[in-house]
Amino acid sequence: MTNKPLVIVTRKLPDAIETRMRELFNTELNLDDTPMSPAQLADAVKRADIIVPTLTDRLDSRIISQAGPQLKLIANFGTGVDHIDVDTALQRGIAVTNTPGVLTEDTADMTMALILAVPRRLAEGVDSLRAGEWKGWSPTWLLGHRIYGKRLGIVGMGRIGQAVARRAKAFGLQIHYHNRRRVGEDIEDALEATYWESLDQMLARMDIISVNCPHTPATFHLLSARRLKLLQPHAYVVNTARGEIIDENALTRMLVAEELAGAGLDVFEHEPAVNPKLLNLPNVVLLPHMGSATIEGRIDMGEKVIINIKTFVDGHTPPDRVIPSML
């Protein structure tokens, strides 16, 4: 591409990133930040040389099959690519990139915040104070559970899972994990982590479960109704990965029936829709998918997108190219 490629950005990005994109490329921005409809996405892939989608844009085979011959790169603004049919894109000669690594610490911070907030009943305390219910200190009011010494089971020991483990170890939690591949002995030693080949066996023995794996066809409802039943009644579930990894209806039923102690959820199976029953549970902390929502993180993501596009336009392999074997 000798001329500036037409880059279509599907959502509002940080000003500094949009300005730099305008300088480098022929860029169409979404200034009002309204998610594109399927028809608008279809129009975008028909016209763009490069499209920059986010997790709210479902680029399935039906959309990608309408792409014009000039579309050669889908430069995703985000790490997860479960909203993109990567196989169909590659079959049509369209490369896909993402932004790994830059959100690790932010997401791990939010995971740790939920690991603290749910057992210590922080949201209940805030609600009570705002409702004017607090009458002063009491030795038996709003008692939670200490996390020191408890067993944390991490589902998915990639970058984020390891970052969560580092934080949790500092808080005195015992680190356990299940991963499709065992991590290196040096990592296990540093984290004092115990590996479980069987997810079922790990779930049955943990005090807190943290979901930190990507959403792929293999991890859809990985925490199924059957697996959730393996958890002990005093256990807590924290999810900052993707809502589809947990059977949300089954989780909700168990929380309502007090078969679990509580949950901290930053993601939902059908977001932005949230199961109304979850909204009314006092032992659940709910966040609006803000695990990676820091100014620094969003700028870092945008800079990675720009590097991927610039490298691709210059005729080189982008540093963050997604290959199916990685998923």
Q: What percent of the chain has pLDDT over 90?
A: 97
Task: Average the pLDDT over each of 81-85, 149-153, 229-233, 251-255 and give the range with the smallest value.
Answer: 81-85
Residues 91 and 147 in one domain: no
The model carries a pTM of 0.90
Structural domain boundaries enclosing 40: 6-102+294-326
Tell me: the pLDDT tens digits for 141-190? Answer: 999 999 999 999 999 999 999 999 999 999 999 999 999 999 999 999 99
Is residue 213 packed enough to be buried (19+ CB in 10 Å), middle (13-18) or exposed (0-12)?
buried
Residues 157 and 177: beta-carbon distance below 8 Å = yes
What residues are annotated to the active site? Answer: 242, 271, 289
Which token pair is 7? 């880059």
Residues 270 and 154 in one domain: yes
Strands (DSSP E) contained in 79-126 are: 95-97
Residues 282 and 163 in one domain: yes
Is residue 125 packed enough to be buried (19+ CB in 10 Å), middle (13-18) or exposed (0-12)?
middle
Residues 119 and 197 in one domain: yes
Residues 322 and 14: beta-carbon distance below 8 Å = no
5 backbone φψ class: left, alpha, beta (φ>0; ψ -120 to 50): beta
Residue 93 pLDDT exceeds 50: yes
Q: List Cβ<8 Å contacts ≥24 apart for 74-77.
A: 74/50, 75/7, 75/50, 75/51, 75/305, 75/308, 75/309, 75/312, 75/318, 76/52, 76/305, 76/322, 77/9, 77/11, 77/13, 77/52, 77/53, 77/301, 77/302, 77/305
CATH number of domain containing 261: 3.40.50.720
Residues 172 and 315 in one domain: no
Q: How many CB atoms lie within 10 A of CB 138?
A: 9
> CA distances (Å), 77 to each of 27, 80, 81, 83, 84, in order?
15, 9, 9, 12, 12
pLDDT of residue 1: 44
Average pLDDT (299-323) is 97
pLDDT of residue 53: 98
Residue 325 pLDDT exceeds 70: no
**1 falls within a domain:** no
What pLDDT band is residue 59 in, cutting at 50, 70 and 90?
very high
Which token pair is 151? 């067993």
> Which three-class secondary structure state does DSSP give residue 38?
helix
> Which three-class secondary structure state does DSSP give residue 202?
helix
Residues 96 and 54 in one domain: yes
Residues 207 and 246 in one domain: yes
Tell me: the pLDDT tens digits for 7-56? Answer: 999 999 999 999 999 999 999 999 999 999 999 999 999 999 999 999 99
